[in-house]
Copies of this chain bind each other. A is one copy, B any other.
Amino acid sequence: MSDTDTTGLRARLIDVGVELVTAEGAQALTLREIARRAGVSHGAPRRYFPTHVELLSAIARRGFADLQDRAAKTVADAGTGPRVRLTALAEVYLGFALSQPGMYELMFRHDLLESNRLGLRETSLPMFATLVDLVGRVRPEADARILAGALWANLHGIAQLWGWGSLKLATGADDHTPLLIAALDAHLGPEER
């Protein structure tokens, strides 16, 4: 049984977790609270998720899939130039992180990623691949993977530091767009906006 099952308790637990993390944040994702909201006893999840972090990982995987879908849709809908696509992709990424802070925090919780026992790192690879592709077409002379990595890190850093107010305090900006523009200009060059 995989995550795509929509009938059983396994999928219901993930659904409840997604709602819960969206509504109340990552710290609300207690094993017992998820079970409570799913209408089962606190021992029931154990049959499908041997441990708490496995359930959390399954919920985070939903977040990665969601982000991935939005990114793919955005890249397809945006204009044809790689630069405008990259801009749209970056905006979607930041928008996701800032509009769903709980899910974003869960997705990048280090204790879910550090050992990678659950293979959560690989969930970022598809989006990174499109990032590498677009970056390579904007700046063909550079090492696309390194450049894409630096850009991804920049987006991630902006998302985090802006999300909890540090960047707003430090830069005095009102919203995150100047930072986003600065990052894109820095890594891709300022031309043709």
- Given contacts A105-B110, A169-B125, is CB(A152)–CB(B157) below 8 Å? yes
Please tell me which one of the listed residues B116, B121, B146, B165 contacts residue A113 in the complex, with CB atoms under 8 A apart: B165
Contact B171 A146 (CB under 8 A): yes
Please give, as numbers and ranges, the residues of chain B lying within 8 Å of A173 by CB-CB distance: 145-146, 149
Q: Could you tell me the distance in whole angstroms from the C-beta of A124 to the nearest C-beta in chain B?
A: 6
Tell me if A164 is interfacial: C-beta within 8 Å of chain B: yes
A114 at the interface (CB under 8 A from B): yes
A15-37 to B contact mask, C-beta < 8 Å, 1/0? 00000000000010000000000
**CB–CB B157/A27 < 8 A:** no
B186 and A167 contact, CB distance less than 8 A:
no
A108 CA to B165 CA in the complex, in Å?
11
Evaluate contact between B110 and A178: CB separation under 8 angstroms. no
Complex Cα gap A125–B143 (Å): 33
A78 within 8 A of B: no
- Cα(A37)–Cα(B27), bound, Å: 27
- In the complex, which residues of chain B have a beta carbon less than 8 angstroms from the beta carbon of A116? 165
Given known A125-B170, A166-B113, A169-B122, contact A152–B146 (CB-CB < 8 A) = no
Residues of chain B with a CB closer than 8 A to A149's CB: 161, 167, 170-171, 173, 179, 182
* A-B contacts, 20 listed (Cβ < 8 Å): A113-B165, A113-B166, A114-B164, A114-B165, A128-B170, A145-B173, A146-B182, A149-B167, A149-B170, A149-B171, A149-B182, A152-B167, A153-B154, A153-B158, A154-B154, A156-B157, A156-B160, A156-B161, A182-B187, A186-B187
- Closest 5 pairs between A and B when the two form their complex, measured CB to CB: A157-B157, A153-B157, A156-B157, A149-B171, A150-B182
Hey, which bits of chain A sit against chain B, CB under 8 A? 27, 101, 105, 108, 110-111, 113-114, 116, 121-122, 124-125, 128, 142-143, 145-150, 152-158, 160-167, 169-173, 178-179, 182-183, 186-187
